[in-house]
Amino acid sequence: MDTKALFKIGYGLYVLTSNYENIDNGCIINTVIQVTDQPLRIAIVVNKKNYTHELILNSCVFNLSMLTEETPFNVIEHFGFHSGREMNKFADCEQVCRSENHVLYIPKYTNSYISCHVVNHIDLGTHTMFFADVVDSQMISDKESLTYSYYQNNIKPKKDKENKKGWVCSICGWVHEDDELPEDIICPLCKHGKDVFEKIES
């Protein structure tokens, strides 16, 4: 089975933010779908390893900032490759705003944001699917939304694999330098599993 076929499914890239007991955090996600229009309800899927996942479970509120094609890699790196348990992701943010649900959103490099209240969730093993009603949404610009494909082809740096052996994460470029790839490997940067690693051919 060639799991790269799954990469052909249309994905966007979003900054997901939440707040619980005055703690703010955010992460990158790529799975957002509208599931009904009456009520206006969406579903998101979040990795349980993300600190934002914990905040959403406790607060039942979140915002989605829709990233644009102008988003630089350091924004993806900042929100996607670091843990909010180890750093305050908003301490040095260039621009942030707080919406009426008391959750931050990112006005720069986004074309819109939506605010949501969780009404249900399903345990998917490594991830949770949250179903949420949209309580507010605002347009910020008319810039094109950032797709996962555009990120892979135009924003993600091309990693220098010269003189390295092992396996490279196709999502973020981290290299596991060993001949064998452990069955239970989890990329320390983007938290994806074995299926996204590719053998580095010498």
More confident residue, 188 or 51: 51
- Residue 3 confidence (pLDDT): 59
Distance between CA atoms of 148 and 157, rounded to whole angstroms?
14
pLDDT at 194 > cutoff 90 = no
Taking Cα atoms as reference points, which of 57, 102, 46, 112 lies closest to residue 79? 46
Question: Is the pTM here over 0.75, yes or no?
Answer: yes
Q: Do 176 and 92 have their domain in common?
A: no
pLDDT band at 25 (very low <50, low <70, confident <90, very high): very high
CATH number at residue 18: 2.30.110.10
Residue 164: domain span: 160-202
pLDDT single digits (tens) 157-191:
776 555 667 888 887 777 888 888 888 888 877 77
CATH number at residue 198: 2.20.28.10
pLDDT at 113 > cutoff 70 = yes
Say how many CA atoms lie within 13 Å of 166 toward its Cβ.
Answer: 19
Q: What angle do CA 66, 133, 149 make, to 5 degrees?
A: 30
- Residue 72 confidence (pLDDT): 94
- Residue 160 confidence (pLDDT): 59
- Residue 38 confidence (pLDDT): 92
Q: Do 78 and 114 have their domain in common?
A: yes
pLDDT at 24 > cutoff 90 = yes
More confident residue, 2 or 61: 61
